[in-house]
Amino acid sequence: MRLTTKSRYGTRAIFDIAYNSAGMPVQIKDISKRQEVPPRYLEQIFHKLKKANIVKSVRGPGGGYVLTSDPKKITVGDIIRAIKEPIYPVFCADEEDGHNKKCSRAILCVTRQVWIEAGEKITEYFDSITISDLCERAREMGITKDVKHKFDYSI
């Protein structure tokens, strides 16, 4: 099974906000640079993440994106579902995906149940990993934070 780039990049972007934001809004250009993802592509992904209420945008100077809930409550599965990308290894197993062609053999296919079960196990695994877990893994790996405080202390 392969995840799409939208799912992978979306997960990396949400991790990036949680890891590098220090509670402040993060701009797409900064996420783009750190995660090596084109900013225009990130904008498309963030549109879906915003619709799913995983992130919200903050306007004005120092604006950007922030998470709408604690990283301990956002799972990798939440992100993949928000982006509306398939998790199942084959199209015929994804019953919720109405835009794919249905297989004419679906009723008679002995292996279809295997693909459905595989998708369910993958979904269960993705739902068990939180963004907070990814942040902990990053700390263990020694990934340095790139926190940019935009405070101005001039009087």
Which tens digit of pLDDT belongs to each residue from 92-109? Answer: 777 665 444 577 777 788
In a domain, 150, yes or no: no
Nearest CA among 126, 119, 76, 125 for reference residue 97: 119
In a domain, 125, yes or no: yes
| Across 85-96, average pLDDT | 75
Containing structural domain, residue 94: 5-141
pTM of the model: 0.85
In a domain, 149, yes or no: no
Neighbours of 116 (CB within 10 A): 17
In a domain, 26, yes or no: yes
Number of domains forming the structure of the chain: 1
Round the average pLDDT of the chain to a whole number and report it: 88
Residue 64 pLDDT level (bands cut at 50, 70, 90)? very high
Q: Mind listing the pLDDT tens digit for each residue in 134-149?
A: 999 999 999 988 876 5
Q: Do residues 146 and 34 make contact, with C-beta atoms less than 8 angstroms apart?
A: yes
CATH number assigned to the domain comprising residue 12: 1.10.10.10
In a domain, 151, yes or no: no
Max Cα–Cα distance, the chain, nearest Å: 75
Q: Mind listing the pLDDT tens digit for each residue in 8-32?
A: 999 999 999 999 998 899 999 999 9
Higher pLDDT, 14 or 116: 14
